[in-house]
Amino acid sequence: MNLNFSDEQNLLRDSVSRFCTSDYDFETRMKSVNSDSGFSKEHWKLFADLGWLAVPFDEELGGLGGDVLDLSILFEEFGKSIVVEPYLANVVLAGGVLKRSGFDKKDEYLSSIVSGEKQFSLANYEPEKGYNLENIETVLDDKGLLNGSKSTVLNAPNADYFIVFSKKGGDFCFSLVSKDAAGLTLKSYKTYDGFMSGELTFENCKPEVIIQEKDALNNLEEVMKDAIVCISAEAVGAMEKCYRLTIEYTQQREQFGSPLSKFQALQHRMVDMFMETEYTKSFLLKVLATEDRDEKTKLIYGLKNQISKSGKLVGEEAVQLHGGMGVTEEMSVGHYLKRLMVIANIFGSADFYLQKYINS
């Protein structure tokens, strides 16, 4: 048993951590959030230059050949600064599907993710269809035309290409749709934690190419498991930042002639936040260290349940202990809560995954 990270992994953590602490303060983040694209193109270029966009991809693509463990290192650091750049959408979701597909030109598209030249979105969920991945209606018909609609398409307003999950014949498939395709309509919005997202409608829309026709659902399931681990790691980072911000704030905020941090009732609350964070980090590491595929899958469902509860608890406590200031837009702590609540409920709630855990 080895609970240590490799030298490469430590280097990656240091490099991401350095960027987040020195170049990604809260004001910088909010500038990105409030911009039209919802992220900073300079940061994105930097991510590409530093090789971060290549982490999970093959070495021929300039990648590190990394897996979800490497991604989780990066996401935990991102979580501490609630980085809003569309890493999840491009690299983990769209890139993850491409990587696992048998598509013969996938390297060409993956290269454009790695270089940061092109933006991608994965479109699999549908309006009011819930979280079961196979519960979709969008169809790629015999004439090769897509019809249907997609929601929660993260990064959609920025995407050059959409990777669309649909039915085809009696099976599922992935196809690649250009943003300029005829018959495609995009509705853009920002999510309440400041990320870009959108809805797509396809009316006899012709994809550029079919990426995968066999085992597409299986591919999607694997990708979503990676995504859950990534946002869980992000949540752990955000939770850590939450209790640290709270300690800092209560140490400097004085009421009744003494710093708030001196009140025992509040100290215990911060201890609970700390314990919850460490406990969740342990769960995450347990998932990462598990090799048996079925066992790992079950634990990932459990992780999503755990992260939804603990992220909510720590985020809410952080806001509460900041008092009135905690609910203001100008303070960062409320934005951590927003991100943690989105993580808690995206791709399925705590209850949804508890049910999956029980049934698997």
Which residues are at the interface with other proteins (CB under 8 A)? 33-34, 125, 127-132, 135, 149, 151-152, 187-192, 194, 197, 199, 254-257, 265-266, 312, 316, 319-320, 323-324, 326-330, 334-335, 337-338, 341-342, 344-346, 348-352, 354-355
Dihedral pair phi/psi, residue 259, rounded to 5°? -60, 145
* Residues 357, 245: Cα–Cα separation, whole Å: 33
At 342, the amino acid letter reads V
Minimum CB separation of residue 112 from other proteins in Å reads 27
CA atoms within 13 A on the CB side of 164: 35
Minimum CB separation of residue 62 from other proteins in Å reads 33
Nearest to 242 by CA among 356, 337, 117: 337
Judge whether 120 and 155 are in contact, CB under 8 Å: yes
At 216, the amino acid letter reads A
Minimum CB separation of residue 174 from other proteins in Å reads 20
Minimum CB separation of residue 226 from other proteins in Å reads 19
Name which of 235 and 350 has its Cβ closer to other proteins: 350
Name which of 50 and 266 has its Cβ closer to other proteins: 266
Q: CA 150: distance to chain centroid?
A: 18
* Residues 247, 277: Cα–Cα separation, whole Å: 14
* Residues 177, 166: Cα–Cα separation, whole Å: 12
Minimum CB separation of residue 238 from other proteins in Å reads 15
**Which residues pair with residue 258 across a beta bridge?**
255
Name which of 121 and 152 has its Cβ closer to other proteins: 152
**Which residues pair with residue 199 across a beta bridge?**
187
Minimum CB separation of residue 19 from other proteins in Å reads 24
Name which of 254 and 295 has its Cβ closer to other proteins: 254
Dihedral pair phi/psi, residue 85, rounded to 5°? -65, 145
Name which of 211 and 303 has its Cβ closer to other proteins: 303
Residues 6 or more apart whose CB falls under 8 angstroms from that of 67 comprise: 56
Token pair, residue 24, equals: 């990604």
At 31, the amino acid letter reads K
Give the DSSP H or E segment for 121: strand 120-123
- Using DSSP bridges, classify how beta strands 161-168 and 120-123 pair: parallel, antiparallel or unpaired: parallel
Judge whether 344 and 311 are in contact, CB under 8 Å: yes
Name which of 90 and 197 has its Cβ closer to other proteins: 197
* Residues 1, 286: Cα–Cα separation, whole Å: 12
Minimum CB separation of residue 354 from other proteins in Å reads 7
Residue whose structure tokens are 């609630």: 82
Name which of 194 and 237 has its Cβ closer to other proteins: 194
Minimum CB separation of residue 267 from other proteins in Å reads 12
Name which of 132 and 360 has its Cβ closer to other proteins: 132
Name which of 21 and 255 has its Cβ closer to other proteins: 255
Minimum CB separation of residue 26 from other proteins in Å reads 13
